[in-house]
Amino acid sequence: MMMKKHICTWISAAIICTTLCGTLPVSAEQAAETHAENPAEASDSCGENLTWNFDSESGTLTISGSGEMDFHGEYYAPWANLRGRIHAVSLPDGLTKIDTNAFAELRNLESVTIPESVTEIGACAFYDCTSLDEIRISDRITKVGEEILTGTAWLDSQPDGVVYLGNIAVGYHGNMPQQTEIEIRLGTTVLAENLFYAQENLCACTLPDGIIEIPEGCFSLCTALNKITIPDSVERVEDAFQNVVLPADDFGVMYVGKWAVGCNNSVDRKS
């Protein structure tokens, strides 16, 4: 299964192209036309039971309602054409999921509070929000996409090493030294997708009790990885070990704890 590692870079490139060429993708163009008659205040749906409203006087984007945010597979949020004018975002208690790229490139956004009702944050949700330096979040998050805070002032201010946001390991900051062994800190219950993707200097990792899922791409292309310790609390292992060679049994099957995660083709298998 191909990884989505470069989705945020693709989105950013597409937006740059939009700026230079003067064209918008269909969804954003339609949104611009819909709200052209009333640019001071724009609104629409952003999920089955969610609506959004933008007030130009305050620069506030307000999401109202409950349930999952859903852009129906579109790369752009319906307010993408307003991103340069949005200075604040208000999210309701009752929102359960923030969709992929929801608030990407809101470069005037300085802080955000994610309500306790939210359990899932999609990939690149706050990607390239360059002024964002304060994030308030609960410990009820159970699933996080890749690069949710890449390009933010908050992430850039973090010390080198694994970066944590509450109970979430969201990424790795800085250049990883050779022969790195990582022990994820106690209290961490969520690993972001592609957490250590292509970290070729990672050789060992220990996960704490409380981790429920090892998500897609978490250790993929970690070519030096040869040891990983996982707790009994793990209930799901996604496609997390692409192009990783771990110790295997006599039949070439690689195991992480009780989980079969792939095949080691270098093993001389028994017939």
- Other C-beta atoms closer than 10 Å to the C-beta of 182 total 19
31 touches 269 (CB < 8 A): no
Residue 16 pLDDT more than 50? no
Q: For the residues of 4-35, what is the DSSP string, one character each? A: -TTHHHHHHHHHHHHHHHT---HHHHHHHHHT
- Other C-beta atoms closer than 10 Å to the C-beta of 259 total 14
Can you tell me the mean pLDDT for 155-184?
97
Q: How far apart are CA 8 and CA 147, in angstroms?
A: 8
Residue 130 CB-half CA count within 13 A? 6
pLDDT single digits (tens) 20-78: 444 444 444 444 444 434 445 688 999 999 999 999 999 999 999 999 999 998 989 99
CA 246 to chain centre: 26
Can you tell me the mean pLDDT for 250-256?
87
Q: Dihedral (C-alpha) 57, 59, 64, 67: value to the nearest 10 degrees? A: 170
Beta strands in 71-226 (DSSP E): 88-90, 95-98, 111-113, 120-121, 134-136, 143-144, 161-165, 168-173, 180-183, 190-191, 202-206, 213-214
Q: How far apart are CA 95 and CA 121, in angstroms?
A: 11
In which band, very low, low, confident or very high, does the pLDDT at 13 lie, cut at 50, 70 and 90? low
* pLDDT score at 39: 47
The mean of the pLDDT values for the chain is: 88
pLDDT single digits (tens) 182-216: 999 999 999 999 999 999 999 999 999 999 999 99
Give burial (CB, 10 Å; 0-12/13-18/19+) of 84.
exposed
Residue 20 CB-half CA count within 13 A? 6
- Other C-beta atoms closer than 10 Å to the C-beta of 175 total 8
CA nearest to 34, candidates 24, 25, 44, 49: 44
* pLDDT score at 172: 97
Work out the percent of the chain whose per-residue pLDDT is above 70: 83
pTM for the whole thing? 0.84
* pLDDT score at 249: 85
pLDDT single digits (tens) 87-100: 999 999 999 999 99
Residue 4 pLDDT more than 80? no
pLDDT single digits (tens) 117-164: 999 999 999 999 999 999 999 999 999 999 999 999 999 999 999 999
